[in-house]
Structure 1
Amino acid sequence: MDVVTFGETMVVLSPLTTGPLRYVQHFEKTIGGAESNVAIGLVRLGHQVSWISRLGEDEFGIYTRNFIRGEGVDTSAVMFDKRYPTGVFFKERQAAQDPKVYYYRAGSAASQMTPEDIQDHHLKDAKILHLTGITPALSESCRETVLHSIALARKHQVKVVFDPNIRLKLWSKAEAQKTLFEMASLCDVVLPGIDEGELLTGETEPEAIAEALRQNGASVVVVKLGAEGAYFQSIKESGYASGVKVEHIVDTIGAGDGFAAGLLSGFIRGWSLSEAVALGNRVGAFALTVAGDVEGYPYWSQLEQGKENKQIHR
């Protein structure tokens, strides 16, 4: 297995029209979850990925599992829970703006995950454990599960990649800062956005954010800069990777997870850090062109075909 990841994936209901949800009559159903987004993105790039979670033993849970499994992700460790439901969230489309998001996830099945859900055999043959800062925000037991998974990864010499992915709707800024900064100290690679980096470290410049997180324990830090690309820093190399120009942005949700998938693909392929970051930028750019979390993620063949396109470069 190339990558193991775990966390909550919810059913997404997206309106077919723009404007306040009170006036919306029709929705499209799909799924959304940072960890499963990364898993699907990696599978499309040719890798073997396992996604672990708890889902409600309900129609939305079955749909979610089937969707992710249908994309080629290993879902054999997914558990169904009769006591708690699958989480749901709604998007609200706004003209020329990112959509608003309304979560209905309190008390979901995924929030009941425990350390017993992640076992030695899930990680012992993996190359990378991918985590986000969303999972520890769901509940105390989820927080313990994340720390347990890091300990298992260390035991089996599995690289731990951590995307803070801060969701302040789930917990306070102070709690997020304390918990996620401590988590980052236990991980090999940390992938904050510029605002997340400022929250975690108090620094405002990419170089200073990366340096602070490396002093905190990370070996590699990549600071995502949106359309500007990313800044990367390790003991061996540092620098900026330019963003990929996208003429028409449809939906920004899922772009950061696409970046993570591309970056991890570069790591698995043995590329240099700068090459892996450039690949992350390319994959993230594809996500911007299509509505939905994962629908725009490219297959490896698409990246190969796009090598000569001046807008998509290494």
Structure 2
Amino acid sequence: MSGAVQAPEVLTFGETMVALRGSGPLKLGGSMRVSVAGAESNVAIGLGRLGHRVAWAGAVGDDEAGELVLRTLRAEGVDVSGASRDDGAPTGLILFEPRLPEVTRVHYYRSGSAGSRLKACAVEAAFTAAPPRILHLTGITPALGPSALCAARRALRLAREHSTLVCLDVNFRSRLWSSEEAADVLADWMPYVDVLIASDDELPLCLPSSAPREVTGQAELLLGLGVGEIVVKYGADGAAVHTGGDELRAPARQVRAVDPVGAGDAFVAGYLSALLDGEDAAGRLDRAVTTGAFAVASHGDWEGAPTRAELPLLGAGAGTVVR
């Protein structure tokens, strides 16, 4: 006898592309390694490796590239039953071109892709099947096109209807839209957001132009708008979370940096994992900087994401409360 559908702990969606990684300048040719890449699916894989039930409801083309995306996510324990295939558009492509030890150029081929044409009905179906505890969105999806923007807006409304916690990672991409375009969309989203994750230079995109210039003032304003907590990423200087009147800081884990790509997504996966486990703010930050460090110390977007059993490999640390 079949049982009831078990709701995912986290639902996310967005564009996942086939990724080709070269060993040097593209114009010189050579071999390339084939994988997949996408901010939301990176988070989904990171959460899956940590033992959480996670679903991805993005769109891919009805092509072999799309099959690679779905096969990879399934292999990582991500539920893709809500994903859709678009027979009128291709799966997107991203090329990584390493140029210097710490500089990699990225080339997108995603205009008119299946991911940019994601429809709101796909999101509605995901909520109808089994509403998640957390909806994770990024600022990349609404920048892909009108259809993807509509799907993201619908997801926010559905999350409110189902009392689903909303996590937004700003993840600003200047190649997809301008800061003015991003601000017009993201500022309107703030009343729906429970957990906001951003780098310090991305916070202004969520606020009116008259907002304070310092991070503390910006965080206080966002809290006043109804955002539950603001997580600020400082790269090699660690991260901080603002809740109420307190700022909790955590230093970055010290590792040998190999590839910074995907570190922010790994950070988000760690933070949401600890949130689902009921950890306090210090515990959430600690796991986030740990999973972020695993990503920095490994090649690829998601390949270095740790399992739960591997988390202790980088040790544990405590944040400092700043009042």
Q: TM-score interval w.r.t. the shorter chain?
A: over 0.9
* TM-score (structure 2 length as normaliser): 0.91
What aligned pairs does 1:37-76 form with structure 2 within 5 A after superposition?
37-76=42-81
The letter of the residue matching 2:60 is: L
Matched residue SS, 1:286: helix
1:47-75 per-position Cα deviation (integer Å, ceiling 9, x unaligned): 00000111000110001110111101000
Alignment of 1:132 with 2:138, yes or no, is: yes
Q: Which residue of 2 is the match for residue 157 of structure 1? A: 163
2:5 corresponds in structure 1 to none
Runs of 4+ in 1 over 6 A off after TM superposition: none
CA distance in structure 2 between the aligned counterparts of 1:136 and 1:313, rounded to whole angstroms:
36
Letter in 1 for 2:279: W
**What is the aligned-residue identity percentage?**
38
Which residue number in structure 1 is paired with residue 33 of structure 2?
28
Q: Over the residues paired in the alignment, what is the CA RMSD in angstroms?
A: 1.6
User: Displacement, 1:199?
Assistant: 4.1
1:214 is the counterpart of 2:219: no
Q: 1:118 aligns with which of 123, 127, 140?
A: 123
Distance between the aligned counterparts of 2:59 and 2:235, measured in 1? 31
User: What CA deviation, in whole Å up to 9, does each residue of 1:227-263 have, x standing for no partner?
Assistant: 11111111274221111111x2110011000000000
User: Would the aligned equivalents of 1:11 and 1:30 in 2 still touch at CA under 8 Å?
Assistant: yes
Asked if the contact 1:4–1:126 (Cα under 8 Å) also holds between the matched residues in 2, the reply is yes
User: Does the 8 Å contact 1:210/1:223 carry over to 2?
Assistant: no
Q: Does 1:171 align with 2:180?
A: no
- 1:283 equivalent in alignment to 2:288: no
Q: Distance in 1 between matches of 2:126 and 2:93?
A: 30
Q: Indicate yes or no: 2:198 matched with 1:189.
A: no
Question: Which residue does 2:93 correspond to in 1?
Answer: 88
| Residue from 251, 257, 266 that aligns with 1:258 | 266
Bigger mean CA offset, 83-92 vs 111-120: 111-120
From 13, 18, 24, the equivalent of 1:6 is 13
Query: Matched residues in 2 for 1:216 and 1:208: separation?
Result: 13
- CA distance in 1: counterparts of 2:95 and 2:177, whole angstroms: 19
SS at match of 2:192: coil
User: 1:12·1:88 contact (CA, 8 Å) conserved in 2?
Assistant: yes
Secondary structure in structure 1 of the residue aligned to 2:198: coil
For residue 101 of structure 1, give the secondary structure of its aligned residue in structure 2.
Answer: strand
Matches of 1:300 and 1:128, distance apart in 2: 20
Unaligned runs of 5+ in 2: 1-7, 319-323
Matched, 1:235 2:251: no
Q: What is the distance in 2 between the residues matched to 1:180 and 1:199?
A: 7
Q: Match of 2:56, SS?
A: strand
Measure, in 2, the Cα distance between the counterparts of 1:204 and 1:93: 34
Residues 82 and 126, structure 2, Cα contact 8 Å, conserved in 1: no
1:156-203: per-residue Cα shift (whole Å, max 9, x none)? 111000001011101122101221122233211100111212444465
Q: Is there any run of 5+ residues in structure 1 with no aligned partner, and where?
A: none
Q: Hey, what's the Cα distance between the residues in 1 that align with 2:126 and 2:263?
A: 31
Seen in structure 2, the aligned counterparts of structure 1 residues 54 and 120 have a Cα distance that, compared at 3 Å, is closer
Cα distance in structure 2, aligned partners of 1:266 and 1:64: 27
Tell me by how many angstroms 1:212 deviates: 2.8
Whether contact under 8 Å (2:74, 2:80) holds in the other structure is: yes
